[in-house]
A and B are shown apart, each in its own frame.
Chain A
């Protein structure tokens, strides 16, 4: 059985309460860190662990922490990014809902390492009920002395608050998140300066994903070196994967990085194969923004090696034949799926979520959606495929924040691997009633 470090106790009754969580060994990392380690030692262990950001970008966490500026007399903040909104991703919700103390414990331990007196958990507004669960957990933690003044009798004091958002994917971008946390529109900031130097209210700030922060606890408990032994190469440790789409067993799975993709899709321990005995057509492996891959390329690399669930293996071959681990939002599509229509839902999503600050994204995402709509109502020309390709190319890399890429990549990959399907749809001139979508757009416009 594969090792689990984050959600191993998710089925224990009452694990959402502090009492049961503690009985299962919870809050040990706080004890260990505060009583036996200086803050830099904690950072050192995280560095040794090789932990990489679990939100999608995969940046080494220890390195991110070491960039934090520490000027005298200026407060530093830890902000947890719980704005999970990437289509296909629901792992953070699962973790926070089932085991809220795993995040609170990580917040305290990580804040100790960073010297943050105060931390915030920014959670997407739609997860309001999860915010209630977190608030209850925080209340319990205060009552038991894990939060507040002089934790465990040490000099370390810490306050942790939850803030809800209000419906904006872009707030998952760390600087947009900070703007939102300051009570503003979720417009990404122009960098530099980076949050490590000037983040929340201009103070040095680290923004980490929920799963990243929760992973700090096992790292401190077992030591960075031990953690680094799990996984493969530079993909160390375990990862939560949100599996959805046409599979027998959708849900959240904790895997050791390096698990073969084929095993993940077909083993009964994970997705349990494709639903209704159908065959696999394509997979979006790391949330909607990563390139879609056809069945033959997701199961094996272009060189014929088995594809593994790891940062390196999934990106093997670059965007020509590979993809990214991303947020771990694993969307599986069976043989009957229309790649064109799926792409339309993605593109509509990015159009809806563009903040509107910079011109390529503000104008380009809507344009791509309109062109794709032509494929749905039977009015597309074959040349529209080239037009789509050109629009995405002119968005990619030209925007303030990565939403431009997030919107461009799915379009590029769908055309790269399924161009014939687009051309076929264009040639067939098949009319599909899309008055439905027109109505939806009206709602958005109001």
Chain B
């Protein structure tokens, strides 16, 4: 594939896929509950609606509150360029695994700061919850990526996720475990069920939605856009893991890989919708147990990677 075509298709995906994925997940959730649901283009419509709305800004907030959504969007955009969440993504130098992890941590850091900045009690307890959750989730997420890095002997994400022709059946468990670990930690990272319920109207039970409760207008539009982008990148990485697992059995060509990476992204979205339509939200005290599943998957993946390395 020529580099220009690669860039054009990547830009198009970047503009369309994140909000589309959000819309598809909501639609699937509604259909799974026998509801018709909003059209899948609703997130786009919401985005433009919010961009045209007047902003209400809390008098007690500072520049932090106003700039956070821009900082976050910029960080997430950078992550979207660095992390290979689509197989046809052009590689950029400096795509280090730890850079991506800490850019995501930066997003969380600024979200927490801005929610504390508004001095709303909802911001106070939700940022405390977010900080607790991230403390638990980060090891699981980092470990699953490190397991992959170990097997490829590189922390460059484009090298980790490169489609190697010699990939063998022996790598299948590693990719599957890493993918599962990444999926579970992404659910927590993105404040989805069963840790956090993005659809209930009750701010008292929420994490992410309670943090952005004071955001409105353009600020909210950008916050939601960066959320959608973050979701697309994280689910895209999961999809890539599962796609690599598939490549262990069957070797698709470049075009098939590109198409499959989009299909797999939506399949991960479907899995999320399935979890959200059937699971019950966990009690706050047992949330760590769920994250522990993710951590276990990642630990197993790391173990497999080390075992494979020592066998070679």
**A associates with B:** no
Which positions in A face B, CB cutoff 8 Å? none
Which positions in B face A, CB cutoff 8 Å? none
